[in-house]
Amino acid sequence: MTSVARLTKAHLWIAFAAFLVACVFGIWQMWARSPLATPYVIAEHYFLSVTAHGVAMAFVLTTFFIMGFGYFTAETALDRPLPGKPWAWAGFFLAVAGTLMAVAAILSGQASVLYTFYPPLTGSPFFYLGLVLVVVGSWIWCILMIVAMREWKGAHPGAPVPLAMFATVANAIMWLWTTVGVAAELLFIVIPASLGWVDTVDVGLTRTLFSWTLHAIVYFWLFPAYIAFYTMAPQAAGGRLYSDMMGRLTFVLFLVYSLPVGLHHLFMDPEHSTGFKFVQMSLTVLVAVPTLLTVFTISASLEIAGRLRGGRGLLGWIPALPWDRPMVLATGLSFVMLFFGGGGGLVNMSYGLNALIHNTSWVTAHFHLIFGGTVVIMYFAICYAIWPRLTGHEAGTQDAQRLQLWLWFVGMMIMSLPWHWLGLHGQWRRVAQFDYTNPIIAAWGPWVTTSLVGGILLFASAVVFVWNLAALRADRKAPVAPFAFATAVHQPARVPASLNGFGLWNVLVLVLMIAAYGWPIAQFFVLQPPHAVVHRVDRGG
């Protein structure tokens, strides 16, 4: 067991408790949108549920998982104790307190503004202050990750930082940049409005600041999955990582290109000019590069493993892989979902095509498939890989783990592929109920019902997952081998200093952010556009 085991487990249990509850809300929402009679369905309940589902999945599950996994990685990859462990616990309790504040505000119906806020809608200040505490807790994590890497570099002058830790710190630095937008939105505009200090808000500015955060936050969630691809999957498959350098390049490219691209979430908004939207779309295209690098590198790594296991011929290495191992299975399933989800994403980020699917279920389908599918299935696999090290218990059989991963994959495909189809047919997102007596909408019915079946499979998978983690305690206690991250086939003899730290990349992020967001934000202060009246959901409209 590692010395951060309790810390990591505490984070992961909070993450997955929120996840399980959020799954229940998710199923109910799909039920409400289906032609089937649904209990408790009025619009007010629906938007409360959407808010709870979004906050639990996007803020609580992710942030706590990433923090917990980060602490584990820092200690395991660097092979030294985590510095500032009391601070880590302080960050944890801060984030827990914030979560409880936000949950109380949501469940009492005082914050049904969805997790993306949508000013001038304004809810209870407890909701926003709670989320600020979660973010502050995560900032402590960021600083501890940076300190851990710096101390390690001090103790190992001239040595390359292990890839898993390099990636974790890349994520921490990206998260610090990412949260600037939403922090400015909350602290300077939304929270003053929620406290009644101002009566109007500049909606264009708030949307722009949120867009700063909105795309990069997705990469914050994605990083652990990519860390697993590079540093866990090759090892689990019985091979080695094809290229360490490719991993480093991938992670710095994510850092550089996930930030100056948020305007692609505002293609249909009137407050920005076509030129800036085009520039940010062009930069968005580059975010595909690290993903393509990763698909190539990990496929190559798995090919090495498959051939070492006796696979022959052009594709013979694929069946030779140990698909019975959860990490390998999850990686394969994750890549299939990445193929569909990434393809959908290319449509979203195209300035012209975006208009076709704007505000439809296509968008919901895309982010569920990419985040809920590609990313979260790797969260499961990571847990299965590290849980024995955290608990000292080894699972007797991995049947339940495999079942759970397959259920998640099948459920996600059955749920999200119909949503893509429905989006192309114009089904709106963020709408509680549909008029199924309308012949056009009636044709959607079977697809919506099919997606509900997918949702039920996902919920079953979620229950099995939590059961698997809890049940491990009852499994045999066994001496567990020390955890080791994958190493590369040819560890590079020398690493460029730029790929062993983040100074250069921080400067480039700054340059890109000034180019991409300078005028789009400054215009609100120069042009002084009209504001919108604050619309309170916690005190009656």
Partner 1 sequence: MSVESEAEDRPWQVRASVIVVAIVVVAALLGFVVLPVVQGRSAGVDAFSAICRALGLQAGSPAVRQPVSATRAEPVSLVAWTEEVIARLHNPNEENGSDLAANICASCHGADGVSPDPAFPHMAGQSAFAIYKQLHDFKNGARGNEIMASVVEQLDDEQMADIAAHFAYFTKGALDPTTPVTNDPAIVRLVERGITARGLPACASCHGAHAGGPIETPTLAGQRHEYLAAQLRAFAKGERRNDIYHRMRDIATKLTDSEIEELAAYYAGIGLYQRIK
519 binds partner 1 (CB under 8 A): yes
Residue 232, C-beta contacts closer than 8 angstroms, at least 6 positions apart: 327, 381, 382, 385, 485, 486
Beta strands in 44-198 (DSSP E): 121-122
Question: What is the smallest separation between the CB atom of 153 and partner 1, expressed in angstroms?
Answer: 9
Q: Which listed residue (39, 275, 439, 482) binds partner 1 by CB under 8 A?
A: 275
Active-site annotation holder among 53, 207, 368, 389 = 368
Query: Of the residues 53, 265, 366, 536, which is catalytic?
Result: 366
Give the residue from 90, 113, 258 showing the smallest Cα distance to 179: 258
CA 350 to chain centroid, in Å, comes to 22
Give catalytic status of residue 219 as yes or no.
yes
* Identified catalytic residue from 150, 430, 531, 535: 430
415-435 CB burial, b ≥16 within 10 A, e <16: bbbbbbbbbeeebebeebebe
Taking the complex as a whole, how short is the minimal distance between the CB of residue 310 and partner 1, in angstroms?
Answer: 31
Contact between 537 and partner 1 per CB under 8 A:
yes
Encoded one letter per residue, x for contact with partner 1 by CB under 8 A and - for no contact, window 195-234 reads ----xx----------------------------------
* Total of residues contacting partner 1 (CB under 8 A): 57
| Closer residue to partner 1 in complex, CB, 185/538 | 538
C-alpha–C-alpha distance, residues 193 and 186, integer Å = 9
Residue 12: count other Cβ atoms within 10 Å of its Cβ: 24
Contact pick of 83, 109, 192, 426 for partner 1 (by CB under 8 A): 109
C-beta of 13: minimal distance to partner 1 in Å? 32
Q: Which residue(s) pair with 200 in the sheet? A: 533
Query: Does residue 366 have an active-site annotation?
Result: yes
Question: Which residue in 75, 185, 202, 538 binds partner 1 (CB under 8 A)?
Answer: 538
Buried b (16+ CB within 10 A) or exposed e, 330-346: bbbbbbebbebbbebbe
Asked if 407 and 457 count as a contact pair (C-beta separation under 8 A), the reply is: yes
Annotated catalytic, 420? Answer: no
Would you say 162 or 326 has its CB closer to partner 1?
A: 162
Tell me whether residue 282 or residue 398 sits nearer to partner 1 (CB atom).
Answer: 282
282 binds partner 1 (CB under 8 A): yes
CA distance 266 to 536: 24
- The two structure tokens encoding residue 401: 């783990």
Under DSSP, the state recorded for 176 is H
* Contact by Cβ (8 Å): 130, 99: yes
User: 93, 446, 511, 518: which one contacts partner 1 (CB under 8 A)?
Assistant: 511
Residue 215 designated active-site? yes
Closest to partner 1 by CB, 299 vs 359, is 359
Among the residue ranges 227-235, 307-315, 358-366, 492-500, the one whose residues contact partner 1 (CB under 8 A): 492-500
Whether residue 368 lies in the annotated active site: yes
Site string (18-57) toward partner 1, x via CB under 8 A: -----------------------xxxx-------------
Rank residues 100 and 511 by Cβ distance to partner 1 and give the closer one.
511
Instruction: Yes or no: say if 72 and 66 are a contact pair by the CB < 8 Å rule.
Output: no
User: Structure tokens of 224?
Assistant: 């652990």
Q: For the segment 411-440, give every residue that binds partner 1 (CB under 8 A).
A: 433-438
Looking at the Cβ atoms of 250 and 416, the one nearer to partner 1 is 250
**Among 197, 439, 440, 494, contact with partner 1 (rule: CB under 8 A):** 494
Residue 388's CB: how many other CB atoms inside 10 A?
Answer: 18
C-alpha distances out from residue 10 to 130, 146, 439, 474, Å:
19, 21, 51, 19
CA distance 432 to 44: 9
Asked if residue 496 binds partner 1 (CB under 8 A), the reply is: yes
Site for partner 1 contains 497 (CB under 8 A): yes
Query: What distance in Å separates the CA atoms of residue 202 and residue 40, rounded to the nearest whole number?
Result: 35
Among 144, 283, 365, 417, binds partner 1 (CB under 8 A): 283
Give the C-alpha separation, 258 to 186, whole Å: 21
Burial of 514 (0-12, 13-18, 19+ CB in 10 A): exposed
Q: Find the shortest distance in angstroms from Cβ 25 to partner 1.
A: 18
User: Per rule CB under 8 A, is residue 474 in the interface with partner 1?
Assistant: no
Residue 256 engages partner 1 in binding (rule: CB under 8 A): yes
Residue 319, both tokens: 């069946």
Q: Are 532 and 201 in contact (CB under 8 A)?
A: yes
Q: Which of 39, 274, 314, 474 binds partner 1 (CB under 8 A)?
A: 274
Among residues 317 and 502, whose Cβ is nearest to partner 1?
502
| 309 has catalytic annotation | no
Q: Side chain identity at 139, as an amino acid letter?
A: W
Contact 181, 205 (CB under 8 A): no
Q: Which is nearer to partner 1, 109 or 238 (CB)?
A: 109
Q: In sequence order, which residues have a C-beta less than 8 Å from that of residue 283 and are 6 or more positions away? A: 257, 260, 261, 512, 516
> How many Å apart are CA 416 and CA 418, to the nearest integer?
6
User: Which candidate in 46, 220, 226, 367 is catalytic?
Assistant: 367
In the annotation, is 531 catalytic?
Answer: no
Chain positions 112 to 171 lying near partner 1, rule: CB under 8 A, are: 112, 158-160
Residues annotated catalytic, as ranges: 215, 219, 366-368, 429-430
Q: Which residues bind partner 1 (CB under 8 A)?
A: 41-44, 109, 112, 158-160, 199-200, 256, 272-279, 282-283, 286, 433-438, 491-500, 504, 507-508, 511-512, 515-516, 519-520, 523, 531, 533, 535, 537-541
